């Protein structure tokens, strides 16, 4: 489950985006593998019906690796949101680093308009908390 203290919120033209990280699996013994999950909630607080048509997301880790997802839809869906409705989305990203930054935008189309608009996702950190090492005392 996501910690409410880690949810960040941004708003663009009445569209509210809440986002935050979830560390799904941390197993440094298996090739420094960190499975991150992330949560997004996109809420339509505008006066118009909108459609979520795509995304342009980036993750950059502290090793300099960059992962991108610029694609249509959300797991095959193109949700339409009336004013007051919201859409929740979760996904996962396997990373080789314990620390990274997630940033980007969602693409929406407003009913009656032909142009797509970018709605910023709040930038958030993926940062595994360090745990104390076990020590054996003789």
Whichever domain contains 89, its CATH number is 2.60.40.1470
Contact status, residue 48 vs residue 112, Cβ threshold 8 Å: yes
**Domain boundaries, position 59:** 4-124
Q: Which of 53-77 are b and which e, b meaning 16 or more Cβ less than 10 Å from the residue's Cβ?
A: bbbebbbebeeeeeeeeeeeebeee
pLDDT over threshold 90, residue 116? yes
Residues 60-99 have pLDDT tens digits of 999 899 999 999 998 889 999 999 999 999 888 888 888 8
Enter the pTM of the model: 0.81
Torsion angle (degrees, nearest 10) of CA 4, 101, 34, 67: 130
Q: Would 137 be classed as within a structural domain? A: no
Share of the chain above pLDDT 70, in %: 82
- Asked if pLDDT for residue 130 goes beyond 90, the answer is no
């Amino acid at each position: 489950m996501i910690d409410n203290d880690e949810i960040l919120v941004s708003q663009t033209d009445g569209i509210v985006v809440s986002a935050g990280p979830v560390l799904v699996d941390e197993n440094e013994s298996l090739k420094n593998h960190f499975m991150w999950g992330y949560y997004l909630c996109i809420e339509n607080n505008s006066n118009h019906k909108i459609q979520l048509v795509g995304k342009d997301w980036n993750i950059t880790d502290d090793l300099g690796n960059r992962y991108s997802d610029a694609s249509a839809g959300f797991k095959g869906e193109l949700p339409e949101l009336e004013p007051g409705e919201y859409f929740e989305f979760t996904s996962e990203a396997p990373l080789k680093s314990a620390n990274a930054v997630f940033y980007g935008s969602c693409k929406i189309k407003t009913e009656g308009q032909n142009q797509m608009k970018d709605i910023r996702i709040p930038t958030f950190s993926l940062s595994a908390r360090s745990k104390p090492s076990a020590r054996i005392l003789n």
